[in-house]
Amino acid sequence: MRVLVRPAEESDCAYFIDIHCPQLKGLPRRERLARCGWWGDEEACAFLLRLYRGLGGEVFVAELYGEVIGEVEVLPHDDCLLGPRAYVNVLWVKEGSRGKGVGRALITAAAEWARSKGYGRLDVIPEEQSVAFYRKLGFKVVATQCKAEKRIVRRGVPPTLKCCEEIHAHNTPSDKVLVTGTYRPGLFTWFAAWFDTHTRHRPPTAYEVKHPTLRGGTWVALLDWFHKGRASLTAYTQEEPTHHEFKGLAETATQIALTTGVEDLFIQTWEKYAPALREAEYAILKTNIPWMSLRIKSKML
Ligand SMILES: CC(C)(COP(=O)(O)OP(=O)(O)OC[C@H]1O[C@@H](n2cnc3c(N)ncnc32)[C@H](O)[C@@H]1OP(=O)(O)O)[C@@H](O)C(=O)NCCC(=O)NCCS
């Protein structure tokens, strides 16, 4: 079997639904987008390709006898708290084509791309069922993350937000590191939140948080609305927060949620911040989510 791995073209987008969610083919667009995300719709998928390339990332597809049977999406992750690295956002092989070396070929292309960009590491937060696959390819667990949720209970008149100034797409937090929402590189989340009109429930809400709970004086809070009443918080700071600083950040995020109509606020972050989230009265939903990393050598895999 000779699999060709090459950069994706917009015309490949027609195949992405076959790779990710073939059971949804033929359903209305709204339903495909709701249940499968960008990959369920050609137009949304073309937006995704442009977003990757605009951010210096790449999407590779695996082709066999003219049919696209797998894809990998890679990005620079320069705002990672672990230091700059390349990041696998998505890897997916069509169900009937698994176990034949396609996943390995796609990760090899991703690792070579990372090396060509000067990165020493390629990282991923794998789905539970693919941890063993990444181990086999030489990835190691180097950190863990947790997921948390805050149910917002409103009593009386919501407080006035004194800490924050509303900001917009052009206030890109490119000089900051990412502390929550680390399941996707920070700039990817930022631009997807502002410019994706396909899968978001509404445009994001973003603030520069002025009062200096953190070194550097300000941090940026992005509320990304995937569903009505439910938002995920992405936070960008000047430098890695301490336990105390993270607790302050989580409490301010609650204040922001109270005034912006959020009913459920979601956070994914490094596991070491779980105690600070508990102290700020967030419910921890999941711990021990592995973050895996592959050291890039001169010749890959
Ligand atoms: C995970 C996935 C990408 C692997 O792709 P694949 O084409 O089936 O993998 P390959 O055939 O290239 O396997 C490479 C090696 O990993 C091993 N491997 C693959 N899947 C494995 C698994 N789930 N557990 C253990 N080993 C696995 C293979 O045996 C092979 O080992 P070998 O080279 O010694 O024979 C594919 O199963 C998939 O798309 N799964 C669903 C989506 C998913 O979980 N994506 C990852 C999200 S981060």
Residue-wise pLDDT for 133-184, tens only, equals 999 999 999 999 999 999 998 888 777 888 899 999 999 999 999 999 878 9
Ligand 1 pocket, residue 3 CB under 6 Å: no
Residues 170 and 116 in one domain: no
Residues 202 and 272 in one domain: yes
Ligand 1 pocket, residue 108 CB under 6 Å: no
DSSP line for 177-211: EEEE-TTS-HHHHHHHHHH--SS-SS--EEEEE-S
Residues 53 and 163 in one domain: no
Q: Is 0.75 topped by the overall pTM? A: yes
pLDDT digits (tens, 9 = 90+) for 56-94: 999 999 999 999 999 999 999 999 999 999 999 999 999
CA-to-CA distance for 192 and 210, rounded, in angstroms? 24
Ligand 1 pocket, residue 128 CB under 6 Å: no
Report the pLDDT value the prediction gives residue 213, as an integer from 0 to 100: 63
Total count of domains within the chain: 2
Beta strands in the chain (DSSP E): 4-7, 58-64, 67-77, 85-93, 121-124, 140-151, 164-167, 177-180, 205-209, 219-227, 230-237, 264-270, 283-295
Residues 58 and 163 in one domain: no
Residues 153 and 193 in one domain: yes
Q: Is residue 8 part of a domain?
A: yes
* Helices 13-20, 42-54: inter-axial angle, 10-degree rounding: 100
Q: Is residue 71 part of a domain?
A: yes
Q: Is residue 101 part of a domain?
A: yes
- Domain assignment of residue 33, given as a range: 4-124
Mutate-to-test residue for ligand 1 from 36, 130, 183, highest number of ligand atoms within 8 A of CB: 130
pLDDT digits (tens, 9 = 90+) for 99-132: 999 999 999 999 999 999 999 999 999 999 999 9
Strands 85-93 and 67-77, sheet pairing: antiparallel
pLDDT digits (tens, 9 = 90+) for 275-287: 999 999 999 999 9
Residues 190 and 279 in one domain: yes
Instruction: Identify residue 189 by its one-letter amino acid code.
Output: T
Look at ligand 1, atom 46, and give the residue with the nearest C-alpha.
91
3, with CB counted inside 10 A (0-12, 13-18, 19+), is middle
Look at ligand 1, atom 42, and give the residue with the nearest C-alpha.
92
Q: Is residue 215 part of a domain?
A: yes
Report the pLDDT value the prediction gives residue 278, as an integer from 0 to 100: 98
pLDDT digits (tens, 9 = 90+) for 226-272: 888 999 999 999 999 999 999 999 999 999 999 988 999 999 999 99
Per-residue pLDDT for 214 more than 80? no
Ligand 1 pocket, residue 126 CB under 6 Å: yes
Cβ–Cβ < 8 Å for 102, 69: yes
